[in-house]
Amino acid sequence: MIWEFIQNQILGMKWMSTLIGNLLEKIGLDTSSRMGGSVQFFLYDVLKITILLCILIFMISYIQSYFPPERSKKIMGRFHGIWANCIAALLGTVTPFCSCSSIPLFIGFTSAGLPLGVTFSFLISSPMVDLGSLVLLMSIFGSKVAIIYVIVGLVIAVIGGTIIEKLHLENEVEAFIRKANAVDIDMDEPTQKERLSFAKQQVIDTFKKVFPYILIGVGIGAVIHNWIPESWVEKILGSDNPFGVIIATIVGVPMYADIFGCIPIAEALLAKGARLGVVLSFMMGVTTLSLPSMIMLKKAIKPKLLGLFIGICTVGIIIVGYAFNAFQYLLI
């Protein structure tokens, strides 16, 4: 009962949905109508995600202040083999929220001489699974789905990085990165005031960058939730279509968003009858393989390695999607 209260009223903020619905009814807008329901969905999700966004970014950025790039590089350099991949994947959970922000760190780690497979484990993990996604997923899908999503995301990151390491593709990294000279700069340990100031600035910067995508994502979710017939979603992304996971993964790739923009779309699709694995595959495709991030990554690595990276992530996402579909009855 306590956990249900936390999940529904604190993380999910169901009280806010009720409050917004009551306010809309008082001004004469019928929330049971399509238009009224869309307005309620939009206002509720924008406010909920924005509040969670600011709180989570502040907390995660404060934690991140203990893991600047130089320290992260030293931590990963202490480990070898698959353990190095595991550490890199875990460090990815306390770094930026989208793939485009992760790529500069990936380039820096690679230039510093860290094993290629280790840096790729970081690159896969960073946008796909972070502490923010864990809390946000709990607020929508529940703790079981959220925890398993993060675990399988880390597994994909570790396996993907290990495969790339075994293939010895260092020459597939652009020469200007391989020949770069890394400079270690000893920096003073930040004070508590500086850590709090850093976290506050990260909230402001990330909010400015992410908020437009929240509006777009919630807008799309509101349309799906109230205007798209349930039969359409079930036909394309429901259990009757065995290719739903593949379709969702492919559709997600051209989009550019992060977990905060994907959540409302995923929430609406699931409510309309889409399978859980389909929804999560869509989210993974958007956050890990967005077209803008692939264009950025192409500047750093050659086509062969880029194709392998995309292939590993795509296959992993599709396998995870079908697994979630198969065990959906145990999770929600």
Q: Evaluate whether 132 touches 11 at the Cβ level (below 8 Å).
A: no
Residue 320 in domain: yes
Query: Which residues have CB under 8 Å from 236's CB, separation 6+?
Result: 244, 247
Using alpha carbons, list the distances in angstroms from residue 213 to 89, 216, 220, 225, 261: 26, 5, 10, 18, 5
Using alpha carbons, list the distances in angstroms from residue 18 to 8, 13, 23, 235, 318: 12, 9, 9, 31, 36
Residue 256 in domain: yes
Structure tokens at 8: 């529904």
Structure tokens at 4: 């249900």
Residue 227 in domain: yes
Query: Which residues have CB under 8 Å from 58's CB, separation 6+?
Result: 199, 200, 202, 203
Residue 54 in domain: yes
Domain that holds residue 60: 2-178+210-331
Residue 198 in domain: no
Mind listing the pLDDT tens digit of every residue in the chain (332 residues)? Answer: 777 777 777 878 889 999 999 999 999 999 889 899 999 999 998 998 888 888 888 887 888 788 777 777 788 878 888 899 999 888 888 765 555 567 777 877 887 778 899 999 988 888 778 777 777 788 778 888 888 888 888 999 999 999 999 998 888 988 877 776 555 555 567 888 988 998 898 888 878 887 888 888 888 888 888 888 878 787 888 877 889 899 888 887 766 666 677 778 888 888 888 899 998 888 888 878 877 778 878 888 899 999 999 999 899 999 989 999 988 888 87
Residue 191 in domain: no
- What is Dmax (Cα atoms) for the chain? 66
- Give bridge partners of residue 301 from the DSSP assignment: 173
Residue 153 in domain: yes
- The pTM of this model reads 0.77
Query: Which residues have CB under 8 Å from 113's CB, separation 6+?
Result: 182
Residue 280 in domain: yes
Q: How many distinct structural domains can be found in the chain? A: 1
Angle at 81 between CA 76 and CA 86, to 5 degrees: 55
Residues 45-80 have pLDDT tens digits of 899 888 888 888 888 788 878 877 777 778 887 888
Residues 165-204 have pLDDT tens digits of 999 888 898 887 777 655 555 556 788 898 899 889 888 8
